[in-house]
Amino acid sequence: MKSDNLKAVLFDLDGTLVDTADEFVVVVQQLRAEHGMAAMDPLRIRASVSNGARALVCLGLGLDPNDAIFESKRLRLLELYSEVLGSEAKPYPGISLLLAELAKRNISWGVATNKPRAYAEPLMARIDLPPCPSLVCPDDVKDRKPHPESLYRNCRDLGCAPHEAIYVGDHLRDIEAGKRAGMFTIAAAYGYIEADDEPSSWGADALISDSKNLAELIFNL
């Protein structure tokens, strides 16, 4: 991938483009409080945000997905999240400047996320970023990441070929999706990484540990 041939930069949402962890920390702690449980280490919650609501219920309440009450607790977590959605979320440092530079260079951008549109769309509307030209959620596709369908949808929206795009994500499934789509992939090691995970093992084309350096990496390929 040469930056001269770059037509679009695509991002995962939570843990890559936007830091939403503080909201999920509040939600998980409240869910635990409702069950008479003490607050847990916020860093453990942050590390699990990219794994979704089911994983946060497992972590926060120590439940198994097969437990009879699991689904009701998942719905309760989502209800609590709806109440705080967008209140603490913010773009990662350097993201706003990166998007501004992309606009100057006539390079499009988009988001491919496993976050349902009911939460992703209002989140994007409430944070301090320009309107997203292509937001693809699991509601929009048959197969979610690590299947590359979401990224193909972004490319159709933005009028580019997959090999003309970069995908940035903070989870192995993001890198797998990007590679299957034929994109240059960047592992966002600054995102929500579990203690036993190692982004350098994901097979990404590049790795970035500080979001403020993402623009420099992209424009110097």
Helices 52-61 and 70-84 sit at what angle, rounded to 10 degrees? 110
Q: Clarify whether 14 is annotated catalytic.
A: yes
Element (H, E) at 176: helix 172-181
Q: How far apart are CA 151 and CA 163, in angstroms?
A: 11
Residue from 4, 14, 41, 205 carrying the catalytic annotation? 14
Residue pair 123/89 in contact (Cβ under 8 Å)? The answer is: yes
Q: For strand 108-112 and strand 18-19, is the pairing parallel, antiparallel, or unpaired?
A: unpaired
Q: Clarify whether 139 is annotated catalytic.
A: no
Residue pair 73/31 in contact (Cβ under 8 Å)? The answer is: yes
Residue from 4, 12, 22, 197 carrying the catalytic annotation? 12
Helix, strand or coil for residue 214?
helix
Element (H, E) at 25: helix 21-34
C-alpha 52: how far from chain center: 10
- For 21, the token pair is 């962890």
Handedness of CA 209, 213, 218, 221 (dihedral sign): negative
The catalytic residue positions are 12, 14
